[in-house]
Amino acid sequence: MKIFVFLIFILSSNLWAKSKLPLLEEKMWRFLRETQVRDQKIIRTKGGWPSFSRFRGTQIKSQESNSFVTIQLLVALSNIESSYELEGFKESAIAANIFLDQYLADSRLTNEPAGTMAYWPLIKTPSGKFIRSFSTSFIYRNLAAFNIPNDLDVSANYFQWIFRQNSHLNFQHDFAKTSGEYLDLAPRAQYSNDKKWKSPDSGAFLTWVEADKNKFNGTRIFGGINDVDCVVNLNILTALLTYQNHRGELSPETANGLIASCKLINEAIINHNTDICGVWYDRQSQFYTAYAKAYLAQEKNDCLNDSLISAQKEILNLADSALTDVIFINYTNIAEIMTSLKKLWPLVNRPIEIQNLLQKLTTLLKQGILVEKSRAYVKSTDSLFKAQLGPITVDWYSPQFSTAIALEALLLP
């Protein structure tokens, strides 16, 4: 009898054991582990992963510190770590959490809305003034575009990370409440991009957690007008649907925003507006990666079901375009398409044509991975997101982010 019980234990243990990383993916993880910042070359970088901002169309770029890229990496890596052995991930997560906890402390210092996270750190200038930036040099002390309020996009992604860690429960509850206080309702001026694809008063979620100049002349929102962004709304939906499933009821205001946001996303897909409904994101693959995450977060609420068939058709079109466009190959785009395909066509019932498509995309993606003796990475300057600052466009990229997204795409079942 004891031998039988022991055999059952061994079999069940093996069933739940994590898999070892294949050689290429092991080298990719080693690159990510080794390039996590361990010192303070730039203010407030220790524990995060590097990213770069650049003025589009020029060679001007800067390495910076922000919370967003690190949070995105952590979410992607946690999807992998649940099934694969990532040596040293626990230590990396601890260092990253110390880094992010400083951002939470920043928010308390400047009385930001509860349950929200800043993009840039709060740092002290030589004169003793606190600013949000990653440098105390003259241009960053005096450029208004850097002094921005907290936003719901960073906050929603942070929610996803701490939910998986089962930490900062107060932040989770506060985020769910605060989200409902920033909705696209009258009276408010419409952001210029909103007019291209949506009607006023959609009731969906805004990006910035601050009143715009319609109500508050001292707003820190660049340009003064709050915006509605599809990918931001999808990230918020993923967080709120997760909250609804596991933490409890949403406030009436937030529940209304969730319903309105789902309606807005469904209409954007069905009306073929996914290429114009992003303010901060300019790849449709980013939209559908966020859509797939939000769709899978549905349990008690199936508000995105109306757009699933249309979304799947659009993703297949994106995949075909990625395979046929041999001039402009964007490897981050390819990884995002693969992730969307795998999530919306689960392995248990994945059609053979989707399997074949994924094999072709995998082959193409691996062509963009630079393999060295001990590590491998996507040598990419593909944009993560962008900002239009008057006549100037600034975008952000990170080889670490692109590598993490590629790693997730390769390892998802």
What residues have CB less than 8 Å from 195, skipping those under 6 apart?
none
SS3 category, 394: strand
Q: In the chain, what are the domain boundaries?
A: 35-411
Average pLDDT over residues 14-26: 86
Nearest residue to 198 via CA among 253, 271, 89, 306: 271
The yes-or-no verdict on residue 176 having pLDDT over 60 is: yes
Local confidence band at 300 (pLDDT 50, 70, 90 cut-offs): confident
Instruction: Note the pLDDT tens digit of each residue in 373-386.
Output: 999 999 888 888 88
Local confidence band at 143 (pLDDT 50, 70, 90 cut-offs): low
DSSP 308-374: HHHHHHHHHHHHHHHHH--SS--HHHHHHHHHHHHHHS-GGG--HHHHHHHHHHHHHHHHTEEE-SS
Is domain 35-411 given the CATH code 2.60.40 in the classification?
no
Local confidence band at 246 (pLDDT 50, 70, 90 cut-offs): very high
The yes-or-no verdict on residue 87 having pLDDT over 90 is: yes
Average pLDDT over residues 357-365: 98
CA distances to 98, 115, 226, 306 from 118, in Å:
15, 10, 16, 34
Spatial strand order in the sheet of 51-55: 61-64, 51-55, 392-397, 385-389
What local confidence, expressed as pLDDT, does residue 141 receive? 66
